[in-house]
Structure 1
């Protein structure tokens, strides 16, 4: 029986399965193993080997408890009663070296710094460099057609090896430590992937983000709804807006399960940063505003009108 279970476990290692599906298979195999141990313990007791049979029965009962916990966790959405797994995990984490080693912390901080560069305006290879003091985050609304375009772009990036959704090569233990430490899910593509080409097009009062592998393959990816904290309708005619950066975010991600990280799915989407430039609008002085000292041939004085007061927060 154990040889059979070991053989199945061995061959499962050759198949690339979803983490949750693989754990469900292991749970079923565990239940079969528990049933076998119960059968063996009963046979030992009936044959007069009470002590040996009782020890096997005790082991079978303990394993049956954890099998029931796994059934609750992997096959239902209900919380298992009398779940002592968090306490066991806490104890094992302290005794088996749950602290992150210094080298791993250095590697992780390096990965986070490289990922943060995508979001702070320091790494903008596709559309030039903008002053980080004049860059604001924007929110994007995406409809079903644009969401399909984003998914298609994600597939193209992956096929051309420009995106590798492998959690940065982190193992299960490293992922668990990072999730526990940061209290946030870990995405397979990290903090985001730079998109090769993007541009901003104005359609009436709407600002549409186009992106793709290149200019010839650009597709609409979303509509800008806010710049900073202000609706796009309030600022589109008062400042010039430029796309500073567009990155692909979302996709598969890991969250902490009862004992180990589990993978969940989320749609890919885009995150944008917009650079702005205040528009200086000149207007000529009206003739009635001339002073008596000014000759009639004097040229009107040009003055620069400031944008609306709500836009002063940009400067």
Structure 2
């Protein structure tokens, strides 16, 4: 029963753990390890709602972003700001090198980034400028930097896809950065650059007849 309540914030009505702990003169070793791992897993996690809101999974299209040298530099600057403001923690989830190596060897993963799988930028938006779909991001709406342009949406370029769908920038995430990976006999590290990853939300465009009918109701 306690397994269920361990993963929730609820308290078991007949939780005997405190009694066992008292009889044993302290917390069982396994319980201490579980608490340590759970605390580590929660480090740096925040309830982040994207600045563009929440979209249904079935309305999301894969998309790619392309960044030039200046935009790549802007991503590094923004990553530093996010780390300094504790918006993202770049410490490999508190894992030691031995723990990282054990994790990589026991999973299908080939590497681990210091910031984990990534963190949404605090604020981001899409702007259509000079026949390009540019993406801006920043710590807030007042301080935005261009981090790239939408290179593709699904199998099409942005403006071709827009002829069929109404497109929205659903997510822009900071990824990459310093990473560690398994070498032949030990853990290796590399100072890789930070990058951005995006997702687009879509809605099928209505034809003129459908739009006219809607306006008449």
TM over 0.5: yes
TM range, normalised to the smaller chain?
0.7 to 0.9
More strand, by proportion: 2
Alpha-carbon deviation of 1:303? 7.3
Do residues 263 (structure 1) and 193 (structure 2) align? Answer: no
Corresponding position of 2:56 = 131
Do residues 164 (structure 1) and 85 (structure 2) align? Answer: no
Distance 2:206 2:71 in 1: 35
Distance 1:176 1:150 in 2: 28
Structural mapping, 1:49-68, within 5 Å: none
Distance 1:266 1:231 in 2: 28
More helix, by proportion: 1
1:198-223 Cα distance to aligned partner (Å, 9 max, x none): 00111244211110011111111111
Do residues 186 (structure 1) and 121 (structure 2) align? Answer: no
Q: Unpaired runs of 5+ in structure 1?
A: 1-100, 285-301, 305-315
Distance 2:48 2:79 in 1: 20
Whether contact under 8 Å (1:197, 1:212) holds in the other structure is yes
Whether contact under 8 Å (2:175, 2:197) holds in the other structure is yes
Q: Unpaired runs of 5+ in structure 2?
A: 1-29
Alpha-carbon deviation of 1:196? 0.6
Query: Tell me, what secondary structure is at the counterpart of 1:220?
Result: strand
Give 4+ residue runs of structure 1 displaced > 3 Å after superposition. Answer: 122-125
The two structures have a TM-score, normalised by structure 2, of 0.72
Structural mapping, 1:1-315, within 5 Å: 107=37, 111=41, 124-180=49-105, 181-283=107-209
Distance 1:239 1:210 in 2: 22
Query: Tell me, what secondary structure is at the counterpart of 2:128?
Result: strand
1:160-180 Cα distance to aligned partner (Å, 9 max, x none): 121221000001111001222
Distance 2:193 2:77 in 1: 11
Whether contact under 8 Å (1:198, 1:210) holds in the other structure is yes
Distance 1:249 1:183 in 2: 16
Corresponding position of 1:290 = none
Distance 2:76 2:171 in 1: 19
Higher RCO, Cα 8 Å, sep 6+: 2
Whether contact under 8 Å (1:124, 1:245) holds in the other structure is no
The 3 A distance-change label for structure 1 pair 237 and 186 is same
1:139-161 Cα distance to aligned partner (Å, 9 max, x none): 00000010011011011111112
Distance 1:148 1:237 in 2: 32
User: Greater Rg, structure 1 or structure 2?
Assistant: 1
Query: Tell me, what secondary structure is at the counterpart of 1:182?
Result: coil
The two structures have a TM-score, normalised by structure 1, of 0.51
How many residue pairs match? The answer is 179
